[in-house]
Amino acid sequence: MKTNNSNLSFSLPFRLLILLGIVFLGWPPKVSPQAWKNDWEKTLAAAKKEGKVVVAGGVGESYRNALTAFRNSYPEIQLDYLGAQGRDFAPRIVQERRVGQFLWDIHIGGSSSMLNVMMPQGAVDPLQPALILPEASDDSKWRNGFKDGWMDREENVYGFSGSIFYGVFINRDFASETDIGKAEDLWNPRWKDKIVWHDPRAGGTGSHQALMVLLQFGEEALKRLLRDQQPVLTTDYRQQVEWMAQGRYPIGIGLHETFLRPFQKEGVGKNIKPLQDNRFILFVGSFGHVALINRAPHPNAAKVYINWLLSKEGQAAWAKFTGENSRRLDVPAGDPERLAKPGTEHLNTQKQEYAEKVQKLVFPIVREVLK
């Protein structure tokens, strides 16, 4: 019995045509350089018609200045900016959506709240389709390539910032190198009641350093550090720096250096230094992550903002005003001393695989011990 496969195969002339296309045109067909320009012009025109973009970003003047520099390039698009920590913003947006309010276009901040709160609630859209400008995602312009910035498997959250992050700081006016020079010294009974820890029960730097203790020293060591040393907890980064500068607590775990710099510029806390122990050193984006909010009220303006943010211009503004380093290689370092040395590798605990460990391993331990 013969089977008619004519509908499953190509005729000889058609196959020759395909071959000629491969030889002379390349395959698959290349997108015309004009295509992205047309897309960009249409998006920009639509964004100007929308007239506004609403962004929630980091708290403080440095983040505000960096993320509102967009206005200089696109004055026709009004930028509404709110400084909010992720632990406050994420529950807020989830609650708003429950009552049918869709008010935000973009969130920029730490990855924890985006990965652990907003994504599971469907409050974030894939970011990749919003990228239009070739320079924004040019592999050659990003440390370890553009793709290394994706924080999650679905490519919803992008980390554009990257610096060496010291998890433990010491006020050397009150604790010398001899007193505490390595990680193991943190468990010395001498430092009971002398540690201020950014609350590891909440998302943020404190929980990531708790993860490092867990990974490097084990569960029992983490429990002893929390239980025996009786650290004071705070969710206020600025307060943590103030207490350390006063010498009230000479050791800080999960201190965020962005909040330390303004004090040191004023001559306060000049001897608050990082503990130079690789077991507590990360390579992270800190508050330098961006997510596109699902059902954004100004979708085209949101695309324009994201492409600006990931461009050389946007990243230069980020580095200049925040003092943090962009992962872009064509942007001057915000903090040259915290650039990763060539050939060195440090964990990025803000990526999804480690965020999951914080949720599943760290939180149960710290919440049990600190209840």
pLDDT of residue 135: 96
Could you give phi then psi for residue 230, rounded to 5 degrees?
45, 60
pLDDT per residue rounded down to tens, the chain (371 residues): 444 444 434 455 555 554 555 444 444 445 566 899 999 999 999 999 999 999 999 998 999 999 999 999 999 999 999 999 888 999 999 999 999 999 999 999 999 889 989 999 999 999 999 999 999 999 999 999 999 999 999 999 999 999 998 989 999 999 999 999 999 999 999 999 999 999 999 878 899 999 999 999 999 999 999 999 999 999 999 999 999 999 999 999 999 888 998 999 999 999 999 999 989 889 989 899 999 999 999 999 999 999 999 999 999 999 999 999 999 999 999 999 889 877 778 889 889 999 899 999 999 999 999 98
Query: Smallest Cα–Cα separation from 269: which of 171, 179, 197, 169?
Result: 171
Residues 90 and 114: beta-carbon distance below 8 Å: yes
CATH assignment at residue 270? 3.40.190.10
pLDDT of residue 11: 54
Inside any domain, residue 351: no
**Residue found by looking up tokens 């970003």 in the block:** 57
How would you classify the pairing of strands 168-171 and 289-293? unpaired
Taking the C-alpha atoms of residue 325 and residue 246, their distance in angstroms, rounded to an integer, is 28
* Residues 293 and 150 reside in one and the same domain: yes
* Residues 172 and 58 reside in one and the same domain: no
pLDDT of residue 1: 40
* Residues 38 and 158 reside in one and the same domain: yes
H helices within the chain, ranges in order? 12-25, 33-50, 61-67, 70-73, 86-98, 111-113, 205-217, 219-228, 237-246, 257-265, 299-309, 312-322, 352-357, 363-369
Name the region of 83 (left: φ>0; alpha: ψ -120 to 50; beta: rest): beta
- Count of domains observed in the chain: 2
* 3-state SS assignment for residue 368: helix
Q: CB atoms < 10 A from the CB of 84, how many?
A: 18
* 3-state SS assignment for residue 156: coil
Taking the C-alpha atoms of residue 30 and residue 272, their distance in angstroms, rounded to an integer, is 54
Q: What is the DSSP letter of 325?
A: P
pLDDT of residue 192: 97
Inside any domain, residue 1: no
Cα torsion 278, 354, 152, 332 to 10°: value is -20
Domain that holds residue 131: 33-162+285-339
Inside any domain, residue 56: yes
* Residues 300 and 289 reside in one and the same domain: yes
Instruction: Tell me: cis bond preceding 33? Omega within 30 of 0 counts.
Output: no
Inside any domain, residue 277: yes
Inside any domain, residue 25: no
**Residue found by looking up tokens 């509404």 in the block:** 80
* Residues 101 and 138 reside in one and the same domain: yes
Could you give phi then psi for residue 304, rounded to 5 degrees?
-60, -45
* Residues 302 and 280 reside in one and the same domain: no
Helix axis angle for 237-246 and 257-265, nearest 10°, is 50
Could you give phi then psi for residue 355, rounded to 5 degrees?
-60, -35
Inside any domain, residue 7: no
* Residues 64 and 117 reside in one and the same domain: yes
* Residues 213 and 228 reside in one and the same domain: yes
pLDDT of residue 29: 45
Tokens of 58: 């980091």
* Residues 363 and 318 reside in one and the same domain: no
∠ CA 339-342-348 to the nearest 5 degrees?
60
* 3-state SS assignment for residue 85: coil
* Residues 37 and 128 reside in one and the same domain: yes
Q: Encode 37-73: b = buried (16+ Cβ within 10 Å), e = exposed.
A: eeebeebbeebeebeebbbbbbbbebbbebbbbbeee
* Residues 98 and 128 reside in one and the same domain: yes
Residues 250 and 171: beta-carbon distance below 8 Å: yes
How would you classify the pairing of strands 289-293 and 272-274? unpaired
pLDDT of residue 341: 79
pLDDT of residue 150: 97
* Residues 155 and 230 reside in one and the same domain: no
Residues 110 and 57: beta-carbon distance below 8 Å: no
Inside any domain, residue 2: no
